[in-house]
Amino acid sequence: MRILIAPDKFKGSLEAADVCLAVEEGIKLAFPDADTISVPLADGGEGTTRILTTYTHGRFLSVLVNDPLGRKIMAEYGISGDGHTGFIEMASASGLLLLSPEEHNPLLTSTFGTGELIRDALDNGVKRIILGIGGSATTDGGIGMAEALGYRFYDTEGERLEAIGGSMGKIARIDIQNRDERLESLEVVVACDVKNPLYGLSGAAYVYGPQKGANDVVVKQLDEGLLNLSCVASETFGIDVADVPGAGAAGGLGAGALWFLNASLQEGVGIVMEQTGIEDEIKKADLVITGEGKVDEQTLQGKVIKGLADLCMKYKAPLAVVCGTLSISPEESREAGIAYSVSVLKEPTTLEKAQVEAFINVRDATFNLVRLFFFKDQNR
pLDDT in tens, 205-249: 999 999 999 999 999 999 999 999 999 999 999 999 999 999 999
Domain locations along the chain: 2-39+277-378, 48-268
pLDDT of residue 300: 77
Q: Tell me the whole-structure pTM to 2 decimals.
A: 0.89
Query: For 336-373, how does the pLDDT look when each residue is reduced to its tens digit (9 = 90+)?
Result: 999 999 999 888 888 888 888 999 999 999 999 999 88
180 phi/psi in degrees, rounded to 5: -60, 120
pLDDT at 85 over 80: yes
pLDDT at 318 over 60: yes
For residue 162, the 8-state DSSP code is P
- Arithmetic mean of pLDDT over the chain: 94
At residue 300, what is the residue type?
L
- The domain 2-39+277-378 is placed in CATH, from the list 3.40.630.10, 3.40.50.10350, 3.40.50.460, 3.90.220.20, at 3.40.50.10350
- Supply the Cα-derived Rg of the chain in whole angstroms: 22
Q: Which of 345, 342, 324 is nearest to 333 (CA)?
A: 342
pLDDT at 288 over 80: yes
Q: Do domains 2-39+277-378 and 48-268 have the same CATH topology?
A: no
Give the Cβ contact number of residue 80 at 10 Å.
20
Give mean pLDDT, residues 100-117: 97
pLDDT of residue 376: 59
Q: Cα separation of 34 and 28, whole Å?
A: 7
Q: Which of 256, 65, 115, 110 is nearest to 174 (CA)?
A: 256
Work out whether strand 128-132 and strand 187-191 pair parallel, antiparallel, or are unpaired. Answer: parallel
Q: Cα separation of 256 and 249, whole Å?
A: 10
Cβ–Cβ < 8 Å for 319, 307: no
On whether the 48-268 domain is CATH 3.40.50.2300, my answer is: no
Q: Which of 230, 233, 253, 225 is nearest to 243 (CA)?
A: 230
pLDDT of residue 134: 87
333 contact partners, CB below 8 Å, separation of at least 6: 321, 341
358 burial type by CB count under 10 A (0-12 exposed, 13-18 middle, 19+ buried) = buried
Q: Which of 112, 250, 119 is nearest to 183 (CA)?
A: 119
Which alpha helices (H) appear in the chain, and where do they start and end? 16-30, 48-55, 91-94, 112-123, 143-148, 204-208, 216-237, 249-261, 268-276, 278-283, 304-315, 330-336, 351-356, 358-373, 375-378
